[in-house]
Amino acid sequence: MKKSRHVFLLTVIFSLYPVSVLANSSWHWVTVSPMKVLPFAVILTLLTEWLGILKFGKVSEKLNTFFVVLAANIFSFVAPYVYRTIKLYSFYGGLLHTWERVFNNGPNYIIRSMYLFLTLFIEVPLAYLLLKNKSKNKKRLIFAVIFLNIITTFVVAVLERLICRGVW
């Protein structure tokens, strides 16, 4: 009696919560890969952050600000690939081969919440430290850098989800 009750309960649970397994399957982009829209995301991000820091961060040096924003964005984009290269170096052997495998196989470029934290962790200190002496208001600068990074990450994530569709 007790055993049949357990079997019945397990049957009900598995019926209510079906489990699907995607073992040995690959992700396929149905529309377009995020790497294809990356150049547009980069342009949107750079322009928004550059112009926003100039206006709201009260920084007057346009060219210097652009290069700081560019460098900060490059560092935050490359950081996951550098981390994965270090982790997988002993597995693949050879720095160039490892870098190629990591860049082509992952981490896949797709905006998630961890990407926002990484962006804030890398870009905010870098941009603030390099621009604080060129700003008329340091407090506005730090808030502008944080706010603009949150906004650009959110906008790119939403646009990425709308443009790029995939299935297993």
Q: So what's the pLDDT on residue 20?
A: 60
Q: What is the pLDDT of residues 22-81, one digit of tens each?
A: 555 556 667 777 777 888 989 999 999 999 999 999 999 999 999 999 999 999 888 877
148 or 88: whose pLDDT is higher?
Answer: 148
- The domain ranges of the chain are 26-167
Q: So what's the pLDDT on residue 23?
A: 56
pTM of the model: 0.73
Q: So what's the pLDDT on residue 107?
A: 47
Mean of pLDDT values over 3-7 = 77
Give the 3-state secondary structure of the chain.
CHHHHHHHHHHHHHHHCCCCCCCCCCCEECCCCHHHHHHHHHHHHHHHHHHHHHHHCCECCHHHHHHHHHHHHHHHHHHHHHHHHHHHHHHHCCHHHHHHHHHHHCCCCCCCHHHHHHHHHHHHHHHHHHHHHHECCHHHHHHHHHHHHHHHHHHHHHHHHHHCCEEC
pLDDT band at 17 (very low <50, low <70, confident <90, very high): low
pLDDT band at 7 (very low <50, low <70, confident <90, very high): confident
Is residue 54 within 8 A of residue 65, CB to CB? The reply is yes
Q: What is the pLDDT of residues 111-167, one digit of tens each?
A: 667 778 888 999 999 999 999 999 999 999 999 999 999 999 889 888 888 887 777
17 or 72: whose pLDDT is higher?
Answer: 72
